[in-house]
Chains A and B, each alone.
Chain A
Amino acid sequence: MNLLRVKHLEKSFGGVSAISNLSFDLPKGIVFSVIGPNGAGKTTLFNMLCGFYTPDQGSIIFKKENAEQNKEVIYHSLHNMATHQIAACGISRSFQNLQIFFNMTALENVMVGCHLQSSSRFLPSLLRLPSVIKEEQRVKQQALNALAFCHLDHLANEMADSLAYGDLKRLEIARALASKPKLLMLDEPAAGLNDTETQQMSHLIRKICDSGVTVLLVEHNMELVMTSSDQILVLNFGHLLAQGTPDEIQNNPVVVKAYLGEDI
């Protein structure tokens, strides 16, 4: 069962081709990693999936509805959709360079993540109608649950700018999870973390996947990638180099060559 289908994707900046003719299917319910040397096009791929860049060519199709219920697969093309519309389809992400709302507490950050799970509008909010108060309580509880899931509940009322780096990384994930996504994209979640924190991150990624959320992971820490991933896609200069399980990728001579260079 595929959640996401990418077909013949192309993107170039000026004359430089960042992604060329990339096609792959992302099965549902697994941890799917994208790896590759610096400049391979990983972040470009992420930014196209979330609508920040528009692909030059090709299509990105995301399964919107629950196929088990409808007996019918309804795909949603993400081409030319704005980021907030893509989010509403059920895609969320964390960012390589932190995009935390530093003007809020940790809890409020995650409550923003609940935006799509709530519906109070501007005018009722101004008047703080009973329906708004009721929803506020529900959203707060939902946000606390997401914080607890990422082991951040003890920091709920701290201002985000007073949190440690490792906590902020998990706060981004908690915020993304609060929007109840079907697909969670993690852009280098372990960058800058120490060994213990990386281990915790690995556990967290597994836990997210077990809770039914498909994870698309970009990461440079190979130990983390190899232990947490079910499937790996290798990019090199915008081309698909290989795809397979961690074992297959580790023993693939083409991948080894791209990463380590050739024997002389």
Chain B
Amino acid sequence: MKRLSGFYLLSLVALILPQIFPDNYYLTVVGVFATLHIILAVGLNLLMGYCGQISLGHAAFFGLGAYSSAILTTRYQLDPWLAMISGMVLVFIIANLIARPILKLKGHYLAMATLGFGIIVHIIFVQTEALSGGPDGLGDIPTLSIAGWAVDSDIRWYYVTTISALGTILLSLNLIASRSGRAIRAVHGSEFAAQMMGINSNKTKVMVFVFAAVLASFAGSLFAYQQNFVSPDSFSFFFSIELVTMVVLGGMASTYGAVFGAILLTFLPELLIVFEDYEMLVYGAILMLVMIFMPQGLFISLGHQLTQLKKNYWPNKKPAGDQQ
């Protein structure tokens, strides 16, 4: 099927790479973070890129998922899977409750409200020491096991998170090519016209917000089990901003753009280590340059460039070498 050809290609690459490099640090350690970031960025892209609603507090849902899993498994000895599902149900309820009033706001006001929510949740993680362990965090979180197969090595985690991320990408691609997906994009295009076509725009926005939040909670649980440890630092305001950057840098309103942005922003700091003290400087400069020269995002701009190149070099399906 043509619609999913990009997805099949991505799956193939993601699943063949570990066969070739089973012990590669970048693949099995950084790669796990990249795939978790993909789940988060693809969800956030549905809300920001497709529905046009900003959220500066997305890390809160990631954190709520992680802490639900951590607390329920260590303090209440709940099964990791049940703890994960409980976290998702909790986030579903919280997201529903806050989305209804918050998403009536627009633009800067929505940004402020979600920012506030993110900060409040972060403070709760720090302050409820008896439950969350406070600033020191919470350790000894058990790992997942799938029907007796314990996910206890880097490579096994790579497969679990990669398949989860691929699943998320597939859900996102399916959604966008459907009636609900068109309603989501219509709300972005013109809210008034969307309503006139019979779309309940408030309900649509809440639906996307809640879905993105539940995905983040799922990623948060995986994160907790993979790290065996959670602390509030991982879910701060800065991580919310990093997620927004992934979506914007990769290219808004493109699922593959979000994937690309997540991979790039996870690997970039690793690759920039060679600059030592100037690492963050170069990192910032790269982000600025991309936004100045490719305001639509890397993935979309590069896509346009490739199409243009193809037009220039194969105007009549001539091979490139034949150009004079």
Residues of A within 8 A of B (CB): 50-52, 82-84, 87-88, 92-93, 95, 99-104, 108, 111-113, 115-116, 118-122, 125-128, 132, 135-136, 139, 175-176, 179
Contact = CB atoms under 8 A, between A and B. Distances in A.
Contacts of A136: 177-179
A104 B182 contact: yes
B137 interface: no
20 contacts: A83-B192, A87-B195, A87-B197, A95-B193, A99-B192, A100-B190, A103-B188, A104-B185, A112-B186, A112-B199, A113-B197, A115-B179, A115-B182, A115-B199, A122-B180, A127-B174, A128-B174, A136-B177, A136-B179, A179-B197
Given A87-B196, A113-B197, A115-B197, A125 B190 contact: no
A102 B189 contact: yes
Which are the 9 A-B pairs with shortest beta-carbon distances?
A101-B189, A125-B178, A99-B193, A83-B195, A87-B198, A116-B198, A99-B190, A128-B174, A125-B180
A111 B199 CA distance: 12
Contacts of A101: 185-186, 188-190, 193-194
Contact of B183 (A52, A112, A126, A139): A112
A92 B193 CA distance: 10
A103 B180 CA distance: 15
Interface residues of B, number: 28
B181 interface: yes
B169 to A, nearest CB: 12
A88 B199 CA distance: 9
Contacts of A111: 182
Interface string B154-189: 000000000000000001001101111111011011
Contacts of B181: 125
A127 B182 CA distance: 16
B207 interface: yes
Given A101-B186, A101-B193, A115-B186, 8 more contacts: A95-B192, A103-B188, A112-B183, A112-B186, A115-B199, A119-B179, A121-B180, A176-B196
B200 interface: yes
* Chain B contact surface mostly: helix
Interface in B182-221: 182-183, 185-186, 188-190, 192-201, 207, 211
Contacts of B190: 99-101
A84 B190 CA distance: 13
A176 B197 CA distance: 7
B199 A84 contact: yes
Contacts of B182: 104, 108, 111-112, 115
A258 to B, nearest CB: 30
B253 interface: yes
B283 to A, nearest CB: 30
B179 A118 contact: yes
B56 to A, nearest CB: 22
Contacts of A108: 182, 185
B185 A125 contact: no
B197 A92 contact: yes
Contacts of A102: 189
B196 A93 contact: yes
A100 B186 CA distance: 9
A95 B186 CA distance: 15
B185 A128 contact: no
Contacts of B195: 51, 82-84, 87
A175 B192 CA distance: 14
A145 to B, nearest CB: 17
Contacts of B192: 52, 83, 95, 99
A112 B197 contact: yes
B175 A126 contact: yes
Interface in B26-60: none
Contacts of B198: 84, 87-88, 115-116, 179
B173 to A, nearest CB: 9
